[in-house]
Amino acid sequence: MQMSPIIISMKTASAAIAFTFLLGIFVARWVVNIKSEKAKMVLDGILTLPLVLPPTVVGFLLLIIFGVNRPIGKFLLEFLGVKIVFSWPATVIAAVVISFPLMYRSARGAFEQIDPDLVMAAKTLGMSERKIFWRITMPLALPGVAGGGILAFARGLGEFGATAMIAGNIAHETRTLPLAIYTEVAAGNMEAASYYVIIVMSISFLVVALTNYFSLKERKYLK
Amino acid sequence: MGLLVEIKKKLKGFSLDVSFSIDGEYLGILGPSGSGKSMTLKCIAGVETPDEGRIVLNGKVLFDSEKKINLIPQERNIGYLFQNYALFPHMTVEENIGLGLKLPKIEKKRKVKEMIESFRLQGLESKYPNQLSGGQQQRVALARCIVYKPDILMLDEPFSALDSHLKDQLQMEILALLKLYEGEVLVVSHNRDEIYKFCKKLVVLDQGKSILFGETKDIFRQPRLHSAARIVGCKNISRCEIISAYSVRAVDWGLILNTEHPVPDRTKYLGIQAHDFHLLKTSPDAGIARQNNVIKCQIEKIVEGELEYNIYFRNKEFADVNGNSVLLYKVRKELWDNRQNKGDVYLRIPEKSILLLE
């Protein structure tokens, strides 16, 4: 067993959740405040798509966007000297795109179940929009937002299909835990694979336990 | 000083068209559920925007569609007591009251303490809203509004969420607490008693339109409009035809009635409050009965209430039985139980009790 898949996976999942968490909250806030129901529905569909599409399809689409012969990939390579495909950042991009819908939907649900009267009351009390967000909206949405974050982290950690498509399976570079398990099994090393499996299972169990802790944690004001 | 409201707004199913102005008196807005009462308050508070019109509070223009003025709620300085109180569930009583205050810490603490004492919330400072009774929650919400010194206080159905056996006491309490506040007060309710007790001026809303505005007592005494009469609680309303300057025919009841004042040309309905009938002690002659607005009653149903009977009856001498021909007479129990004439019941409609309606 090597340490590198574990380190790469932790790095990827941590970097991915940082993006997904903020992006998910931001986009959820934005969609919740859209007035037109139609626009909302269409946007919601697009934003949820990565959750229902096969990860390989998402990976394929990402390849089309970031491939070095495609406009965006070409631009990044020629002007910034950054090659996305088959490099570590690609693992992060794959994890972000795949885990985003989980974060977005949880955050959106959490924002939508807040009584609109509370926000109105806060406004009539002279509170600025920023203060309302930090003192009213976020604390009340926190259980849902935190739950979404944990789920998104777990999903990012387990990401396989899209990662394989866009980041490849390069040892010490893009080989995350799920890819390492696949590689070991393909090579007939069941024992090496089982160590990785145990590590993934432990992390996943910890995550589920954390989720339950957050959702069951006694919040004083609900007593 | 005062509040002027003239607003229009298109909504699903109906359009809001409200206008009134007050000058220091308590104003009530009375209307059935879904008549646009809460929406009116929300427009004044600035959390909803009218399509057109003007809102001016104490000389400050809050909204003016022509001049393109629309202050955000934060700039309007309006106290809004929500129907469900809208207390922040994750904050203690103290935090709820102090949240909107923009004062230095020590000052704020002193102010909050003062409110907690005035509103008799001592000992509840660090409780959360769901640990409080309905009445306590309401006092917290009111304290939260008043501490902020708003130019106007708007109460949305202030007693609808309270148990009925507590209502009277809480109404008295709130009236006393409102004395702490010097400024305009606006009360929205579908409950006639509340409005009558609280408010000197009254706006009657029906399907989004402010159909009447004036002194509360005047409107209750003479609602003038068919729809307003229903809203202020007149149970007996009949279509009517004008016969002469001082007499009308109540079409649905088969009665000819004399009136106290000349009948206005526009009169289309007439009403009589359920309490306003006079129970006659003896059977009158037929001729006298007709001249004196007397009805020979065919009793349909008697419903016993706590203090009164609700007596549903028709005009016995009127054959046309239709849904509108049943009248309601509310009578104190002892008066009814001790009536001398146990045979036919005769009721007189006093001339001054007849409401002529458009």
* Each residue's pLDDT tens digit, A105-127: 999 999 999 999 999 999 999 99
Q: Are A123 and B74 in contact (CB under 8 A)?
A: yes
> Residue B86 is encoded by which pair of tokens?
């809208």
Mean pLDDT is lowest, of B8-12, B194-198, B281-285, B352-356, for: B281-285
Q: Give yes or no for B93 touching A (CB within 8 A).
A: no
CA distance A216 to chain B (A): 16
> Residue B331 is encoded by which pair of tokens?
């009578």
CA distance A119 to chain B (A): 9
Q: Give yes or no for A122 touching B (CB within 8 A).
A: yes
CA distance B78 to chain A (A): 6
Does residue B297 share a domain with residue B243? yes
Angle (CA) B235 B241 B242, round 5°? 115
Chain A residue closest to B144 (CA)?
A: A125
Q: What is the pLDDT of residue B224?
A: 87
Which DSSP symbol is given to B200? S
* Residue A223 to residue B99, Cβ atoms within 8 A: no
| Number of continuous H segments (helices) and E segments (strands) in chain A | 11, 0
Q: What is the pLDDT of residue A168?
A: 92
> Residue B291 is encoded by which pair of tokens?
């001249």
- pTM of the predicted model as reported, rounded to 2 decimal places: 0.81
End of a domain among B229, B257, B277? Answer: B229
Does residue B272 share a domain with residue B199? no
Residue A70 within a domain: yes
- Residue A57 is part of a domain; what is its CATH number? 1.10.3720.10
Does residue B246 share a domain with residue B195? no
Q: What is the pLDDT of residue A152?
A: 94
Measure the CA–CA gap between B109 and B101, rounded to whole angstroms.
10
Measure the CA–CA gap between A138 and B96, rounded to whole angstroms.
16
Q: Enumerate residues 6+ apart whose C-beta is below 8 A from A211.
A: A147, A150, A151
- Give the residue from A124, A132, A219 with the most B CB atoms within 10 Å of its CB, the best one to mutate: A124
* B101-108 long-range contacts, CB within 8 A, separation 24+: B101/B147, B101/B148, B102/A126
Between the CA atoms of A124, A126, A130 and A133, what dihedral angle is there, to the nearest 10 degrees?
A: -40
Helix (H) or strand (E) holding B268: none
Q: Tell me the per-residue pLDDT of B10-67, one tens digit each, with 9 for 90 and over.
A: 988 889 999 999 888 889 999 888 888 989 999 999 999 999 999 999 999 999 999 9
Q: Give yes or no for A189 touching B (CB within 8 A).
A: no
* Residue B128 to residue A125, Cβ atoms within 8 A: no
Q: Give yes or no for A114 touching B (CB within 8 A).
A: no
Instruction: Report the length, in residues, of chain B.
Output: 358
Does residue B149 share a domain with residue B71? yes
Chain A CB contacts of B79 under 8 Å are: 124
Does residue B306 share a domain with residue B223? no
* Residue A118 to residue B88, Cβ atoms within 8 A: yes
Measure the CA–CA gap between A98 and A53, rounded to whole angstroms.
9
Does residue B156 share a domain with residue B8? yes
Q: What is the pLDDT of residue B172?
A: 81
Measure the CA–CA gap between B77 and A126, rounded to whole angstroms.
7
CA distance B54 to chain A (A): 19
Does residue B69 share a domain with residue B182? yes
Residue A166 within a domain: yes
Q: Give yes or no for B74 touching A (CB within 8 A).
A: yes
Q: Give yes or no for A217 touching B (CB within 8 A).
A: no
Question: Tokens 């709130």 identify what position?
Answer: B174
Q: Give yes or no for B340 touching A (CB within 8 A).
A: no
* Residue A122 to residue B77, Cβ atoms within 8 A: no
Q: Domain count for chain B, please give it.
A: 2
Per-10-residue mean pLDDT, chain A, length 223: 90 96 95 92 94 95 88 84 89 96 95 94 93 93 90 93 94 94 95 94 88 67 61
Integer angstrom CA distances of residue B151 from A93, B100, B155, B213, B260: 53, 15, 13, 22, 44
Q: Give yes or no for A219 touching B (CB within 8 A).
A: yes
Does residue B281 share a domain with residue B219? no
Does residue B120 share a domain with residue B50? yes
- Work out whether the CA dihedral A7, A9, A12, A14 comes out positive or negative: negative
Q: Give yes or no for A34 touching B (CB within 8 A).
A: no
Domain that holds residue A190: 4-217
Which DSSP symbol is given to A83? -
* Residue A126 to residue B88, Cβ atoms within 8 A: no
Measure the CA–CA gap between B65 and B53, rounded to whole angstroms.
6
Q: Tell me the per-residue pLDDT of B239-296, one tens digit each, with 9 for 90 and over.
A: 989 988 889 988 888 888 988 889 898 899 999 998 999 988 877 776 676 678 888 8
Q: Give yes or no for B166 touching A (CB within 8 A).
A: no
CA distance B34 to chain A (A): 17
Measure the CA–CA gap between B16 and B188, rounded to whole angstroms.
15
Does residue B300 share a domain with residue B262? yes
In sequence order, what DSSP letters do the residues of B275-297 get, joined into one string? T--EE-SSPPPHHHHHHTTEEEE
* Residue A223 to residue B91, Cβ atoms within 8 A: no
Q: Enumerate residues 6+ apart whose C-beta is below 8 A from B127.
A: B92, B93
Q: Domain count for chain A, please give it.
A: 1
Mean pLDDT, residues B93-121: 91
End of a domain among B204, B229, B254? Answer: B229
- Residue B190: CA atoms inside 13 Å, Cβ hemisphere, count? 11
Does residue B56 share a domain with residue B14? yes
Q: What is the pLDDT of residue A219?
A: 62
Amino acid at position A82, single letter: V
Q: Using the CB atoms, write b or e for B215-252: b if 16+ within 10 Å.
A: ebeebbeebbbbbbbbbbebbbbbebebeeeeebbbbb
Residue A223 within a domain: no
Does residue B187 share a domain with residue B118? yes
Domain that holds residue B303: 236-357
- Residue B260 is part of a domain; what is its CATH number? 2.40.50.100
Of B171, B219, B233, which Cα lies nearest the Cα of B32?
Answer: B233
Q: Are B257 and B248 in contact (CB under 8 A)?
A: yes
Question: Tokens 């001054």 identify what position?
Answer: B352
Q: Give yes or no for B177 touching A (CB within 8 A).
A: no
Mean pLDDT, residues B179-204: 86
Q: What is the pLDDT of residue B195?
A: 87
End of a domain among B229, B259, B293? Answer: B229
Integer angstrom CA distances of residue B92 from A216, B3, B127, B132, B240: 21, 33, 5, 10, 59
Angle (CA) A63 A67 A71, round 5°? 120
Chain B CB contacts of A126 under 8 Å are: 74, 77, 100, 102, 148
- Residue B194 is part of a domain; what is its CATH number? 3.40.50.300
Chain B residue closest to A127 (CA)?
A: B100
